Amino acid sequence: MLRAAGRILGRVVPVMFGVVVAVFFLLRMVPGDPAAMILGERATPASIAALRGRLGLDLPLWQQFTGFLAQVATRFDTGDSLVTGSSTRELILARAPVSLGIVGLAVLLAVLLAVPLALAAALRKDGWVDHVVRVLPAAGMGMPLFWIGLLLIIVFAVQLRWLPVGGVGSGPGEPLRSLLLPSLAVALGMAPPLIRSLRAQLIDVLSADFVTTLRAARVPERRILWRHVVRGAALPTLTLLSVNTAYLIGGTLVVEKVFGINGLGTLLFQSIGSRDFPVVQGVALYCAVVVVLVTTLAGVLAALLDPRLRVADARGSGETAPPSAERAPLPDSQHLAPEGFGDSAQHGGGIRR
């Protein structure tokens, strides 16, 4: 366990340091003077120089970078906003719950949409259900996210009046009701590729030889489907879901604009426009941390679904894989046959009725 945690930290720390370096230096390459933008067009050179000195922008670049690293390491903060003077950490913590709520609820809704539809299409391959499921995701992938959001507002907020038009309510249960429509809009954009990926994987696994073996052994169809087929088909879709989730962490600007929500996407857009270096750096680092956590969690879940990944990881690091992992059932292997089936075949007995 400790060695596995050490391997994870060994992968995360260089990535985070690279993100810190890239965020700091790339922002300094953007043309324009933050002090001049803050003071306006009528600012005098003396006032601009004074503000640059107060903000530390007149220091050499390496001194600015070392100060930035020290502040991140000790205070988990990237400094005060150049526009409002508020702490970047406070600004992020005030808006992060809204954006995380949209992303988390959108992922949940996308999975609830993708799994039943992909199962229905794979179990009825080339039937009318399969054709409908294949057409709907193709149509959904061509719809812009803002257009989906506007349609949901017209139907559920204006016509039916079930949910609020925009903003985030403060009463009991109101925050959840306020986030349902934007989360549904994001989920409808995420679900089509998940449905297509999961459907294709399910069809491949259903046609595998070990599924035929399990059916010949009279294993219940529901057990075959949920314990073996879905488990074996979920890995590529899980990877795709983690990539889409990581993209959404900092990409909720469109849905926040449509629904009038002040989240991290809106904060990032405003900070870039005003050249607010500390806030942009803070939001970027926050997004990087969440992305690393999401991808790490996806890797852990993939290892739980497929023990071969744990064995390969242990062998790649020079460790000896535990015997339980070596003998773990594989989703696409004949080792999934029920107890007694392989023994009877080895002794020439066949299946006993």
Check: CB of residue 206 under 8 Å from CB of residue 229: yes
**Predicted local confidence at residue 3, as pLDDT:** 64
In a domain, 339, yes or no: no
**Predicted local confidence at residue 318, as pLDDT:** 52
Q: Is the pLDDT at 325 greater than 50, yes or no?
A: no
Q: Say which residues have a Cβ less than 8 Å from residue 276's Cβ, sequence separation at least 6.
A: 34, 81, 82, 83, 270
**Predicted local confidence at residue 334, as pLDDT:** 41
In a domain, 151, yes or no: yes
**Predicted local confidence at residue 108, as pLDDT:** 92
**Predicted local confidence at residue 109, as pLDDT:** 92
In a domain, 18, yes or no: no
**Count of structural domains within the chain:** 2
Q: Check whether residue 226 and residue 103 sit in a common domain.
A: yes
Q: Check whether residue 49 and residue 102 sit in a common domain.
A: no
Query: Residue 201: in which H helix or E strand, if any?
Result: helix 174-206
Q: Check whether residue 203 and residue 291 sit in a common domain.
A: yes
Identify the residue with better confidence: 99 or 317: 99
Average the pLDDT over each of 102-116, 134-148, 175-189, 214-228 and give the range with the smallest value: 134-148
Stretch 275-299: mean pLDDT, rounded? 82
In a domain, 9, yes or no: no
Query: Which of these three, 51, 75, 99, is where a domain ends?
Result: 75
Q: Residue 7 is encoded by which pair of tokens?
A: 């391997």
In a domain, 84, yes or no: no
Q: Check whether residue 65 and residue 169 sit in a common domain.
A: no
Write down the residue that tokens 């913590």 correspond to.
93
Stretch 109-135: mean pLDDT, rounded? 88
Q: Check whether residue 201 and residue 52 sit in a common domain.
A: no
Q: Check whether residue 69 and residue 166 sit in a common domain.
A: no
Q: Check whether residue 67 and residue 135 sit in a common domain.
A: no
**Predicted local confidence at residue 349, as pLDDT:** 44
Q: Which domain CATH number covers 236?
A: 1.10.3720.10
Q: Rounded to an integer, what distance in angstroms lies between the CA atom of residue 255 and that of residue 261? A: 8
Average pLDDT, the chain: 77
**Predicted local confidence at residue 306, as pLDDT:** 66
Q: Residue 294 is encoded by which pair of tokens?
A: 């999401």
Check: CB of residue 81 under 8 Å from CB of residue 73: no
Q: How many residues does the chain have?
A: 353
Q: pTM of this prediction? A: 0.74
Residue-wise pLDDT for 76-96, tens only, equals: 888 888 778 888 888 988 888
Q: How confident is the model at residue 328 (pLDDT cuts 50, 70, 90)?
A: very low
Q: Check whether residue 50 and residue 163 sit in a common domain.
A: no
Q: Check whether residue 163 and residue 122 sit in a common domain.
A: yes
Stretch 299-318: mean pLDDT, rounded? 63
Domain of 45 in residue numbering reads as 33-75
- DSSP letter, residue 155: I
Q: Is the pLDDT at 246 greater than 80, yes or no?
A: no
Stretch 115-130: mean pLDDT, rounded? 88
Name the residue among 286, 285, 264, 273 with its Cα closest to residue 34. Answer: 273
In a domain, 120, yes or no: yes
**Predicted local confidence at residue 139, as pLDDT:** 76
In a domain, 55, yes or no: yes
Q: Check whether residue 63 and residue 106 sit in a common domain.
A: no
Q: Rounded to an integer, what distance in angstroms lies between the CA atom of residue 170 and that of residue 176? A: 10
Q: Rounded to an integer, what distance in angstroms lies between the CA atom of residue 153 and that of residue 166? A: 8
CA-CA-CA-CA torsion sign (310, 312, 316, 318): positive
Q: Check whether residue 55 and residue 141 sit in a common domain.
A: no
Stretch 225-230: mean pLDDT, rounded? 82
In a domain, 349, yes or no: no
Q: Is the pLDDT at 9 greater than 60, yes or no?
A: yes
Q: Check whether residue 54 and residue 128 sit in a common domain.
A: no
